[in-house]
Amino acid sequence: MAGDIDPMRSLSALAICGTGAFASLSEWVINNRDSVADMPLAEVAEAAGVSETTVFRLAQQIGFSGYREMRVALAELRGVARGQKVSEQWMSKGHTDPYSAVINNTINVHSQMLRTTAVLAEPTALRATVKAIQEARVIQIFGFGSSTGPVVDLYQRLIRFGYVTNHYSDPHILTAVTANPPAGSLFFGISFSGQSKDVVDALTSSNRQGFPSVLITSHPDSAAGQLAKVVLGSAPAGAVGGSETVGTRISQLTIIEMICTGLALEHPRKNEFLRNAAIIEREIEKKRVAEQSPPRTASV
């Protein structure tokens, strides 16, 4: 995984000891490491004057599965450096309260989680997810543990779009559903590890019956990631010190926001939907407790 490799140390060794295109490309990446974190493979190849295959092979040469994983690692390093710089500036201004540092560092860490999510996001996978939701008769959303919150969020968002949607965080009920799903079902899983047995079993069953599937996970190469027809990569837990229960949830919710934005853009009755959304908001507003004015004192 990206978090187990120090890309700068590996690139430096290759720049010094390597030969040919790998050595020169390594040196170029080192000198442009902040920019590379935001550049797709084709742009790096063009800017460095090498082939796309050379860029991909360089990433593998230093221990990554491919260019995307190397890019994530560089983004994480950039986030750490920025976080340290901001923290130093924060402390130099006389902020000594430890809870001020907690606030500052937490925001820095999770801002970097969002940047890492942007690196991992693939337009083709996002577009395929939007299309799969549009074509589904019923969307079966499932996830367990720390993924339960994002599961419920996606369910509530899709309900507002008017889609027929169910959500499951009970493995026994999910098993019953996957054993005999209604026609036109889309199975949509959310799993940080991609190794949850219940998620893997649900995707295995849906594949066997020929149903489409989507998965949000931090580990696309996991067992569930190998089964899902469409995989959306969320930021890994190790990204800049993020934790599974907080950092990855932020990344998962961000991906859900991307999906819903895509659905809004592609909605066949966009204007009608926007009107309906306004009606829903007004109805929800009626459910809120009205602000009460202080009781008036009777005049004598």
**211 plus 271 within the same structural domain:** yes
Q: How many whole angstroms separate alpha carbon 109 and alpha carbon 119?
A: 16
**129 plus 90 within the same structural domain:** no
Contact between residue 178 and residue 204 where contact means Cβ atoms under 8 Å apart: no
CATH number for the domain including 27?
1.10.10.10
Question: Following DSSP, what letter does each residue of the chain receive, concatenated?
Answer: -GGG--HHHHHHHHHHH--HHHHHHHHHHHHTHHHHTT--HHHHHHHHTS-HHHHHHHHHHTT-SSHHHHHHHHHHHHHHHHHHHHHHHHHHTT---HHHHHHHHHHHHHHHHHHHHHHH--HHHHHHHHHHHHH-SEEEEE--GGGHHHHHHHHHHHHHHT--EEEE--HHHHHHHHHSPPTTEEEEEE-SSS--HHHHHHHHHHHHTT--EEEEES-TTSHHHHH-SEEEEPPPTTGGG--TTTHHHHHHHHHHHHHHHHHHHH-TTHHHHHHHHHHHHHHHHHTSPPPPPPPPPPP-
Q: Which residues contact 178 (CB under 8 A, 6 or more apart)?
A: 140, 187, 201, 202, 205, 206
Phi-psi region of 222 (alpha: psi -120 to 50; beta: other; left: phi over 0): beta
**181 plus 230 within the same structural domain:** yes
> Is the pLDDT score of 157 beyond 80?
yes
Which pLDDT belongs to residue 78?
63
> Would residue 91 count as lying in a domain?
yes
Domain that holds residue 43: 2-96
* Interval 97-101 mean pLDDT: 71
**10 plus 49 within the same structural domain:** yes
pLDDT for 10-47, tens place per residue? 777 666 665 677 788 888 888 887 777 777 888 888 88
Contact between residue 160 and residue 280 where contact means Cβ atoms under 8 Å apart: yes
**86 plus 129 within the same structural domain:** no
Which pLDDT belongs to residue 72?
74
- pLDDT band at residue 167 using 50, 70 and 90 as cut-offs: very high
Please report, to the nearest 10 degrees, the dihedral formed by the alpha carbons of residues 26, 32, 36, 37 taken in order: 110
> Would residue 90 count as lying in a domain?
yes
* Proportion of the chain above pLDDT 70, given as a percent: 74
Domain count, the chain: 2
pLDDT for 188-207, tens place per residue? 999 988 999 999 999 999 99
- pLDDT band at residue 3 using 50, 70 and 90 as cut-offs: very low
> Is the pLDDT score of 275 beyond 70?
no
Contact between residue 237 and residue 101 where contact means Cβ atoms under 8 Å apart: no
Contact between residue 59 and residue 66 where contact means Cβ atoms under 8 Å apart: yes
pLDDT for 130-142, tens place per residue? 999 999 999 999 9
> Would residue 38 count as lying in a domain?
yes
> Is the pLDDT score of 260 beyond 50?
yes
> Is the pLDDT score of 88 beyond 60?
no
> Would residue 215 count as lying in a domain?
yes
Q: How many CB atoms lie within 10 A of CB 266?
A: 13
Of 86-90, 264-268, 272-276, 286-290, minimum mean pLDDT range: 86-90
Whole-prediction pTM: 0.66
Which pLDDT belongs to residue 141?
98
pLDDT for 212-228, tens place per residue? 999 999 888 899 999 99
Which pLDDT belongs to residue 95?
58
> Is the pLDDT score of 261 beyond 50?
yes
**143 plus 60 within the same structural domain:** no
CATH number for the domain including 168?
3.40.50.10490
**33 plus 127 within the same structural domain:** no
**62 plus 149 within the same structural domain:** no
Which pLDDT belongs to residue 111?
76
> Would residue 146 count as lying in a domain?
yes
